[in-house]
Amino acid sequence: MLELDGMNADSLIDMLKASFSLDNWTAMIEISDKLIEVVSVIHATNLDGLEAQLLKRSLVYYFGFSLCAKGIAFQKLGDYNFTRECIKRYSNLSWLKLYDEDSLSEIEYYKSIAVANAFVIDLLEGDTRVLPDYVEFLKTCSRNELTAGLLNILDSALKYNYSVDSALDELQGYVIKANASSPAVDVHYYIEYTHLLSVYSFKRGKIEYAINLIIENIVLSGRLGDGSGFRKSTAFYELVRADANASQQQEYHYIMKKIIEREFNDEKEAFVIDHRITD
């Protein structure tokens, strides 16, 4: 159990984002429940109070974000029934009866996201008929949301072994590469998307391209501090190492050597890799 008592809504939002970046799905569910509890009290008893006034966003945002995060956590845990329950709850937040411009905008946003996320669950359950509709929806999204959508498409393709080349052709050109100034959530989405794209490409027989993606992801995840993405990409490279060409093996070796030099600040460790002790 996490110690969440006394935390305000915005701090809980930050914790949800951090838990997502760490793939900590059970923590996300616990934090989401606490966030719903906190904002429910404000909504029921103290809309004009100081606590409500100190919130950075509309109350609708906090309800929507908490339910959406909880749904994503259940999705990652493979519990699609609970995910659908969450989607149903944030698909219509008008019951909050908040009519200011920001609140109405958030209500419409989560209504739209609910439609998209229902498509995602259909795809993850193997209903590929919804893919064209989902692709059309993603074309209307921001580029960061589109990256998350491509991740879902690849996840479904790998789970059910079908081609999504046409969807990738339509959407990939709009993906924004993460950098040091990107929010942690966007970094995580991009790293995970590139990882799944490398796995998908490998399974489609695009071996050289796939391994180049893996190596790119190892470098980027290490530079941007996404430990989960770094571990996944490194592990996948080791699984397919035998298919890497000489240039790719040399590049991977160089990357690992530089990591040792940087992390341990000791060139002797890196020196050992390239020099054996002989009689």
**Domains located in the chain, CATH noted:** 1-125 (1.25.40)
Residue 114: predicted pLDDT: 94
Entry pTM: 0.81
Which pLDDT tens digit goes with each residue over 90-104? 999 999 998 899 999
Produce one character per residue of 207-235: b if its CB has 16 or more CB atoms within 10 Å, e if not: eeebbbbbbebbbbbbebebebbbebbbe
Which pLDDT tens digit goes with each residue over 21-36? 888 999 999 999 999 9
Which portions of the chain are predicted below pLDDT 70?
Answer: 1, 48-52, 263-279
Residue 1: predicted pLDDT: 67
